[in-house]
Chains A and B, each alone.
Chain A
Amino acid sequence: MTRFHTTVRRLGRGTLLVLALGAALALVAGCESKPDKPTKFVFANTSSFDTLDPHQSFDVGRVAPRINLYDGLYRWVDNPPELIPWLAESYTVSPDGLKWTFKLKQGSKFHDGAEITAEDVVYSTERIFGVGKGAAALFSRMLEPGRTKALDKYTVEFTLSKPSAIFLSIIPEIHVVNSALVKQHVKDGDWGAEWLSFNDAGSGSYVLDQFDPAVGWSAKRFDDHFYGWGENSLPEIEFRVVQEINTRVLGMLNGDYHGTDGYLPYDQVKRLQEAENVQVLDEESMRIFMFQLNNQRAPVSDVNVRRAISYAFNYDAFINDILSGSVERNPVPIPNNLWGVPKDVKGYSFDLEKAKAELAKAKVKPDRELTIGVLTGFNQTEQAATLLQDGLRQIGVKSRIESHPWPVMVGKMKEPSTSPDIVIYWISTYYADPNNWIGEMFNSAGWGTFKSSSFYKNPKVDALLDKALQSTDMAVRAKAYEEAARIVVDEAAGVWVYNTKWFGPYANNVQGVRFCPIGNGQEMRWVSFK
């Protein structure tokens, strides 16, 4: 018997099998190695990209394809947000505020080389209405299908159904698509929606390269982009779907990703701040955290009960202890870093004596459990609810916390009779105008939308908000919003807690990130590797 056979017998077949498996493992693992120099920027995104169609999505989590693959007439940049001409070079407004005329820059191209014309803008606008999703509901308040026309090859005119001061603010949401290309792929009157979910018909800074809805998408720099390019701009970008927080954080620490979302739990932010290979940028955002109060159902319909609730929440403990001071106190229904905020309003503070005094004045006493709605999977809403519940208990008000997934909560919030007494959530930045917050939340014309689920009704506030919406005079608008905010705060139509801070983790060798609350710093054309 050979020495080999003896060795095998001694070791045993089982041991040898384990050794063989280990060798195979080492071989496979050894074949993988990280490149020394990054060739593309990889961003770990929290949301999945179900669709690349810019007219089918409007949410913040899926903003990256809209702002990197497509262009609009104007674009939001920087913080505080500034609206700059983009595909358009200028605009005019008729004296009655109804006709908005935009002149396009000439020679701007789509990714397939076709020139962008006014007809593409018209088609894109009509397509938003035709698809009926995304920003359609927002535009339909001021614009109707068929009221957009091309005056000539480079001039487009929008005729609004009523004056709207926010029209320019939401113009960036008309992502211009290549009409000729999309029309080739229309099926059963779907406006090309199925095709555009997977493909690119844009003119944006990057051209779609690959897309896998389960994995993410990658794109290459569009060298003929009208805006031109600086030195060292990213030749390739990839937005990868990584839904698990821990995996995103470990990936940043491991150098697998060059950037990830800026709204991580603060303990994870601190972990990244301590890492040698990660830099964390911070900016004040415009995403407010609030409690929506059901103003149409007793006892919360009583203004004194609402004030009592406002005094019963320990804002300082929540912000400083639970959130480690990572957010900014914001006591009004407009982000405090935006115009239109009444600077003289201090808002409510944690004061149980004042809460009890308000309750004593209430005509309708809380003689039942108040329901506090929180979002399943969003810990902060649950933490806030628990803290509020404790405060309410101390003033003799019982409450019950109900947790629901977001679609269920949206369904409940449509009607006063089904909406919880208190719902805790965030209001994100869709456009940088106070109307995005106070206008859509507290104008009674918006009842039935999820943002307006306070069911608050005050004719004076409605008049102020309508005036602010229709005027194009910034001073008039600011004054109207400030006055409306004072009334809404005084009547405690809601409880406003904080304004979010964005903590954007990036690899140390990344530079040029331009954070804007609309877009969350995910516009890659400004970014480069050092």
Chain B
Amino acid sequence: MPAELRAIDCDVHPSVPDIKALLPYLDMFWRDSISERGIPSLESISYPPNAPITARPDFRGKNGAAATDVSQLSAQVFDRWQASVAICNCLYGIQLLFSEDMAGAFARALNDWIAKEWLDRDVRLRASIVVPMQNVEMAVEEIERCAKDRRFVQVLVLAMQETPLGRRSNWPIFAAAERHGLPLGIHAGSAYRNPVTSLGWPSWYIEDYAAQSQGFQSQVASLICEGVFAKFPGLKVVLIESGVTWLPGFLWRFSKFWRGLRTEVPWVDRSPAEIVREHFRLTIQPFDAPDATDDVERAIDHLRSDDMLLFSSDFPHWQFDGDQVMPAGIPAGLHRKILVENPLATYDRLRDANPARETVS
């Protein structure tokens, strides 16, 4: 791959190898709580540890876990796939906790762990700020605290929350993100406050994973209908591990109903399709595409924008085999945009020459 096309990988997943890894970053009370209460782990059922999607077999170590240290991730993402930068989105079920205090403490610990154990060990890594959505004030505090370290490049939340993201109670989070030039990254996953379908809890894990795209659709609708982009015109939203091909059909329906029902949401002063093209970006893995190349090109064409797709490997999740990180069928003319230009345009902080690495405190 030519040097100028060395990819920016917008979605990699460092794994917390053991809850004990967070002990140095927790205060005495929460350290004791882990042992006194026997808290085994905060892994969520969005990614059952042994499920095929959670880690590709050849990425798993002897204990079955993958991406538990920097060298393993760097060897795959930087050495083999030749990425120049990768953004760490740590999925550890802090969002599921019911105690606001516990969520706040573990979010701080996780972000500090990422900075020290990952970002400090490889200058090519960046990370997202995991925030405790259980309490908006705490989430804003955590953004303010971590944003000082410019290696944190976005705010990370899950696709399925207690309430739709656009709700006004969440607006201080968007204000903080906009203020610091941090996109709001919405990643697949659930806080499991609600069933993963509007028809209740399904029987199979595959339904849970498939339902992620329903959550993304609902979040896009909510953020737009509530007027978030009228209030925060500088806010960018990245849909991560969302799939891609569901978006055009969703926008046809949404934009049509906007034409019929816009009096209900007068602050939405343009078609949702236009707002999405300006404010939303999507990572490319998993790429939920048809088989035929011609159909892939059509599906991409339906986005009506070359600016929206961001390269991602989703390492170590098993979305593709071998080294086919760039999905087959994506027109070659788009590669440079997807690999480099779109990520740079999306993440302000990736344009820093030398991101300040001051210690998070």
Q: Are these two chains actual partners, yes or no?
A: no
Listed in ascending order, the chain B residues whose CB lies under 8 Å from chain A are: none
